[in-house]
Amino acid sequence: MTPNFSDRVEAFGSHRAPRPWLSLITVHKNDPQGLERTLESLARQSAQGVEHIVVDGSTQLVATSSLGELLTQCGTHWVDQSSTGIYGAMNEGLSHSIGKYVFFLNAGDELADPLVLSELQDLLTQERPDWLYGRLVLVSGQGKERVEPRFDFEREQLRHFRSQRFPKQSATIVKRELLLEVGGFDEELFLAADYQTMLLLTQRAKPLEWERCITRFYLGGQSSTSWQESLLQAHRARVAVYSCSSLESVTDLLLSIPQYGRAIFARIFGRV
C-alpha cells in the first residue's frame, strides 16, 4: 500500500461542509471528450447533494468552452494528480472526498440514465448498507451493448471470486470510512487493485445487491487487454487477502487459470 496514503487523508479530511451523501470521483487523463461524456451524464441527474471530484493526470489538457460549462454546472472540485497511475489517482480522489459514500465513475464512462443517483440515494437512505453493487451496461469499441449478467455472490465468494465474477468497481458504492479502513487501493497492483479492495470489503461486510444498471462501461482499458498480468495480480491479491499457504497459493493459481480463461474468451468472443 502507498506509504503516504494515510497522510493524504489526514491532510484533506472532512473540512468542507455540509457533508454530501455521495462523493463521485472521476479519474481523467488526456481524454477531454470522454470527460465531457461523463460530465454530461452527471449533469442530467436529478439528485442533489452529490460532490464531484475530478483527479486529472493529463500531460496537456485542451479545455473547450463546453467542458468548462459542464465543470461549472456539475460543481466539480478539480484536483491535479500528484501521484502515479490510475489507482494512485483514485486514492488521491478518496483523500479529498468528504461524502458519506464514495463512487468512482472514471472519464469516458456514463451513469446509466438520469434517475440513477436519485434512486440510489433513496436506496441508501432506506437500507443503509456498508456497500452495494449494481450492474453494468458493457459497451464495446464498436458501440455494441449488453448488460453484464448476474452472478451468485455467495457462490463466487466461496470460490474466492476466481472466475472474475465479482462486484465491479464501476458499479460499486462504498461507505467512505469503510474504504479508508481497508486502505483504499494498493497502487502496486496496477491491474488488480480494485479487485483486491473488493476482496477486502467482502471480509468486512456483505454487500447489498442492486439489480439496477448503474453505469455504462466502455471496454478496452488496460486490464481488459493485459489479461496474463491481470491473472497473476488477481492471484497475488487472493493470496494476500486470504493468507494462503504455499500449497494453497499453488492450488489457487491452478484453479483460477481455466475459469479466468473462460472469462477472457467470453469477453473477446462474446456478444460485446
User: For 26-62, what is each residue's pLDDT tens digit?
Assistant: 999 999 999 999 999 999 999 999 999 999 999 877 6
DSSP 14: T
Model confidence over 127-172: pLDDT tens digits? 999 999 999 999 988 889 999 999 999 999 998 998 888 999 999 9
d(CA 149, CA 46): 27
Q: How far apart are CA 78 and CA 54, in angstroms?
A: 5
Reported as a pLDDT band with limits 50, 70 and 90, residue 2 is: very low
Query: Mean pLDDT across the stretch 2-11?
Result: 49
What are the Cα distances from residue 10, in Å, to 4, 5, 104, 243?
Answer: 10, 9, 21, 29
Spatial CB neighbours of 84, under 8 Å, sequence gap ≥ 6: 187
> What 3-state DSSP class applies to 159?
coil
Residue 58, domain member (yes or no): yes
User: What DSSP character marks residue 112?
Assistant: S
Is 246 inside a domain boundary?
no
pLDDT the model gives residue 78: 95
**Does residue 118 lie within any of the structural domains?**
yes
The answer as to whether 215 is a domain residue is yes
Contact 96, 10 (CB under 8 A): no
Name the domain count of the chain. Answer: 1
Q: Is the pLDDT of residue 3 over 70?
A: no
Q: Name the nearest CA neighbour of 76 among 67, 64, 63.
A: 67
Q: Where is pLDDT greater, at 265 or 160?
A: 160
Q: What is the CATH number of the domain that holds 66?
A: 3.90.550.10
What is the C-alpha separation between 184 and 172, in angstroms, rounded? 14
- In this predicted structure, which of 16-25, 40-49, 103-112, 152-161 has the lowest mean pLDDT? 16-25
Dump strand ranges (E) for the chain: 22-28, 50-56, 77-80, 101-104, 110-111, 131-139, 145-147, 172-175, 208-218
Rounded Cα–Cα distance for residues 213 and 181 (Å)? 27
pTM (two decimals): 0.86
90 and 185 Cβ atoms separated by less than 8 Å: yes
Residue 73's identity, in one-letter code, is: Q
71, part of any domain: yes
Does residue 119 fall inside a structural domain? yes
Within-domain flag for 244: no
Residue 112 has pLDDT above 80, yes or no: yes
Residues spanned by the domain of 56 = 5-219
pLDDT at 218 over 50: yes
Grid coordinates in use for 128? 443503509
Give the pairing type, strands 77-80 and 50-56: parallel
pLDDT value at residue 1: 43
pLDDT confidence tier of residue 13, bands split at 50, 70 and 90: very low
Residue whose C-alpha cell is 486490464: 223
Percentage of the chain modeled with pLDDT above 90: 65
Q: Are 50 and 20 in contact (CB under 8 A)?
A: yes
In a domain, 264, yes or no: no
H/E stretch holding 190:
none
User: What cell was used for 231?
Assistant: 491473472
